[in-house]
Amino acid sequence: MIIDDKLKVLDDLKKSEALNRGILSVLKSQLAVINNLGNIIFVNESWQNFCNKKIKNALVSGQVGSNYLDVLFLRSTKRNINALKVLEGIYKILNRKLNFFQLEYKAEVGNNEKWYLFSISCYDESDLKLVIRQVDITDRVLFSRKVARSELRYKEILERSNELIFSFDLEGKFVFLNNYFKKAFQYNEKEIAAINVFNIIHKESFISFKRLLKKVLAGKPVKVTETAFVTKAGVKIYIEGNCSPLWENEVQVGVQCFFRDITERRHMMDVLVKSERKYKNLVENINDAIVVRDLSGKVKFANKRFLDLIGLEEMELIHLNLQEYIAPGWQASLRKHYSDYINGYEKEVSYVYEGLTSTGKRLWLEDRLSPVMEKNKMVGIQTIIRDITEIKNKEFEMKKLINELTNRNNEMMQFNYIVSHNLRSPIANIIGLTGILTQSNINETERVKVLSFIREASLKMDEIVKDLSSILYTKSSINQKREKVYFHKLLQGILETLEQEIMQSGCLLCIDIDENVNYMFTIKSYLESIFYNLISNAIKYRSVQRVLKLHISVLKRGNEIEIKVSDNGIGINLKEYGEHLFGLYKRFNFDTEGKGLGLHMTKTQVESLGGSIHVESEPDAGTCFTILFPMAYL
């Protein structure tokens, strides 16, 4: 019975060994078993196939029956250092000085490099059988190199940044500091290792910054407003920016900070506050967007500020085409700018252009370019993008203000000329006529006649003064209370006033008022005067060769209220008179009565209400006046 049991056990062992050999034989890794003398007693199929390839410097060699120690010794004589290391490892395991041996090594397969993980372990301690295993780790090594290059590129971006970028662990010890930080705080590597983040916080901000750090350590990113830090030399610097948790394998391991040195801005603000309180909010925080792209234009990296500026999600960077976010009219010049930069290798270039957000909003942007270098070769471009929209808008506003002041000055010069010219004649007449009255030989008839002339000159001067007073009143009374004025009701009153003139002219009148803009908040007397002058002029300067057609419309055009008054009258030669059309006391048709004051008053009133007026006209083809007011007056 005992013999039968032993036979059964031996049979089971043989079956188990056969099964294990079968499993080992199909593994992709190379496997071999040697005894304590170094003889190979088993190899799997992958080992055999590998040996047949005859790979240079490989440690896998030999078939069943050969001595693996002899194979290694032969390799070592050919200056294969790895073979010597493996020999030493085997002897240490056989002498029970080592339980496990492992080695990573490189071999050449044709023109390519292959990396392998070679290991030896004890298979049967009683009989000292060793298992040799080799695994191809080329993909892992290449992936590690790629990750290292990616990290190096990211670090290069951080090092180039003009911000204070650093990170520290949960105990406050610094893990990373960029060059800008080291330069600003003046610590060397040895000194940095001996301090922590709390050593650089100024006492005035210590409590508030510590409170913010508690939030970050709880897993929440925070925005850091003006905070005081202190350099190695004890100089106080002010920073602002963001702190966020630093994660590793979903576990928080520290804090990362992106700060901007605002010391100069702070000092400037202090000076401004001391000199004038009204300038305390003049300087604002400016965040720069950073984009890195390869030479083909494909975006490789963009920071959060860029995403916020354009209005994109991070996942949209994969298929991002930056040309779509450049305003029409700028794309060709910007492409040329980048091409010239790549071919010219300038150190740093700036360029101002108009960009677009994802919603189509226009922004004025300034790009500052610098090369991304790899092995002394340009592989891409780093772009620091600054939003200068506000600065540009202020430039445009300044130009507009200068133009307005220039126009006002020209108007004032014209006004002074007209006043002096138009008043000089009646005053000179009065002076001359009063001189005649002083003569002793003047009779009663002549005296009455002279007094009549003096009265006419005085009335003329009074009329001029009244006209000028009306103009000055229009320019100075803009602060009158605005009220809700309905266009239909206003026009009805004007047409009733001009009813007799309209009937006599046989005018065909058409009024078109959009229901969406049937009223506006304005100075009623100004708007009434504007319509009255334009309508009465259309009647006054109608053509005798055709029935007068007068069209009045009030419509919505984008963000503006458009008022049009058009007729088919005698028209105006704008080539000859257009420049002086709205001038004071300017007349271009002397067949009808007038003083040349109406159009000047109309333009003054329109501009005083915040609008603009334009004219289209040709001789004998009618005239169209277009007035535009902002929709804000609705």
* Rounded Cα–Cα distance for residues 322 and 346 (Å): 22
- Show the 3-state SS of 182-225: HHHHCCCHHHHHCCEHHHHECCCCHHHHHHHHHHHHCCCCEEEE
Task: Judge if 292-385 and 394-476 fold alike in CATH terms.
Answer: no
- DSSP assignment string, 7-52: HHHHHHHHHHHHHHHHHHHT-SSEEEEE-TT-BEEEE-HHHHHHHH
For residue 369, the model assigns a pLDDT of 84
pLDDT of residue 31: 92
What order of strands is seen across the sheet that includes strand 377-387?
A: 299-302, 289-294, 377-387, 362-374, 349-356
pLDDT tens column, 4-49: 555 554 554 444 454 455 445 446 889 999 998 889 999 999 999 8
CB atoms within 10 A of CB 12: 10
The DSSP output letter for 126 is: T
Fold of 2-136: Beta-Lactamase (3.30.450)
**What gap in Å lies between CA 85 and CA 102, rounded to an integer?**
10
CA–CA dist 143, 115 (Å, integer): 12
pLDDT at 465: 64
Distance from the Cα of residue 411 to its chain's centroid:
41
Average pLDDT per block of 10 residues along the chain, 634 residues long: 52 48 62 91 90 84 90 84 90 89 87 89 77 90 79 67 83 86 86 88 90 89 90 90 89 89 82 53 52 83 83 81 83 81 69 86 86 84 85 82 66 56 64 74 77 75 61 55 87 86 88 89 86 88 89 89 91 78 63 64 84 89 90 68
Question: CA triplet 461, 467, 469: central angle to 5 degrees?
Answer: 100
pTM over 0.85: no
- In a 10 Å sphere around its CB, with 0-12 CB exposed, 13-18 middle and 19+ buried, how is residue 250 labelled? exposed
Cβ proximity of 84 and 32 under 8 Å: no
* Residue extents of the structural domains in the chain: 2-136, 163-279, 292-385, 394-476, 483-633
Beta strand 549-557 with 508-513 is parallel
Question: Could you tell me which CATH class the domain 483-633 is placed in?
Answer: alpha beta
Please state the φ and ψ torsions of residue 477, each to the nearest 5 degrees.
-105, 25
Residue 294's contacts (CB-CB under 8 Å, 6 or more residues apart) are 300, 379, 380
pLDDT of amino acid 55: 81
Report the amino acid identity of residue 31: L
C-alpha–C-alpha distance, residues 555 and 514, integer Å: 5
| Residue 440 CB contacts under 8 Å (≥ 6 apart), including other chains | none
CATH class of the domain comprising 163-279: alpha beta
Q: What is the pLDDT of residue 406?
A: 67
Q: Is CATH 1.10.3470 the right assignment for the domain spanning 394-476?
A: no
- What is the CB neighbour count within 10 angstroms for residue 4? 8
Assigned fold of 292-385: Beta-Lactamase (3.30.450)
Q: Which CA distances in Å does 235 have to 27, 44, 229, 231?
A: 66, 70, 8, 5
pLDDT value of position 471? 58
Q: What is the pLDDT of residues 115-164, one digit of tens each?
A: 999 999 987 666 778 999 999 998 888 888 887 777 677 666 666 666 88
